[in-house]
Amino acid sequence: MMKYVFESKEKDELIQETVKELNVSEEELYYQITELESGKLFKSKKFQITAYKKEDIIAYIKEFIKQLSDTMDLEIAVEIRVEGDNFQIQLVSSNNAILIGKDGRTLNAIQVLLKQAVQNNIEYPLHIHVDASNYRAKQEHNFEYEMKKLMKEVQRTKMDIKLEPMNSYQRRMIHNLSNKFDDIETYSTGEGKERYITIAYKEK
C-alpha cells in the first residue's frame, strides 16, 4: 500500500500541496495531519500529512480478495462502493454456500481478515463491511423484523423482555431501532460475550 508523507510549516497549505503533488482531488484522499515535535524551544511549528489514495485502497482490497479466491479455489467477483470512510464490499461467487459458510462464519472470518489487513497497512480509521450476495443485508432485515415484533409485544404487555447475549453490532441495531418507539427503551447489561439487551416499556 503506497503511503504519501509530506511536511510543511503551513498547515492550511499542506492539503493543497498534497492534492497538487498527487494530482487528485481532496475527495480522492484519506489523510491525517499531525504537528511535529520541534525539539527546540523557539523553533517554528512544522506539520506532517500522511495520505492514501482512494484508488490505491480499492486496488489493495481487490488484490486481497483475488488472493483469497486463489486460496479457496473459488471464483469470486467483487464490487466496492465507497461512501466517505465506509467501504461496502459485495462478493459474488458461483458457490455462495462455501463463501458464506454456516451461519455466516466464513463471511465473518473474511471480514475480520480484510479489516486487519487494511488496518495493518493504512494509518487511517476506515470502516470495512463485507457481504456476499446480500446475505448480511437479508439477515439484518430479518433481525430488524423480529426485534420490531418484540418491541410491539412490550408495548402491548408493558412487560420487559430480556434478550440473549449478542454482539455489539446487533446491540447497536436494537438501540437505534428503539428510537423509533416513543414508549420503548433499551439498555445493555453484562460484560463481554455475556452482554445482553433488555427491551423495556417506558411511560410517555
| Whole-number pLDDT of residue 87 | 97
Residue 111 backbone dihedrals phi, psi, to 5 degrees: -65, -45
| Whole-number pLDDT of residue 186 | 97
| Whole-number pLDDT of residue 5 | 95
131-181 residue pLDDT tens: 999 999 899 999 999 999 999 999 999 999 999 999 888 999 999 999 999
The pLDDT-based confidence of 9 (bands split at 50, 70, 90) is confident
Q: DSSP labels for 90-145? A: EEEES-HHHHH-GGGHHHHHHHHHHHHHHHHH-SS--EEEEEETTHHHHHHHHHHH
What letter would DSSP give residue 164?
P
pTM of the predicted model, to two decimals?
Answer: 0.77
Domains of the chain: 4-53 (3.30.1490), 55-134 (3.30.300.20), 138-201 (3.30.1370.50)
∠ CA 99-101-105, rounded to 5°: 110
19-71 residue pLDDT tens: 999 999 999 999 999 988 766 665 678 899 999 999 999 999 999 999 999 99
Report d(CA 114, CA 151) in Å as an integer.
35
Pairing state between β 196-201 and 4-8: unpaired
| Whole-number pLDDT of residue 193 | 87
| Whole-number pLDDT of residue 149 | 97
Report d(CA 163, CA 26) in Å as an integer.
45
| Whole-number pLDDT of residue 113 | 96
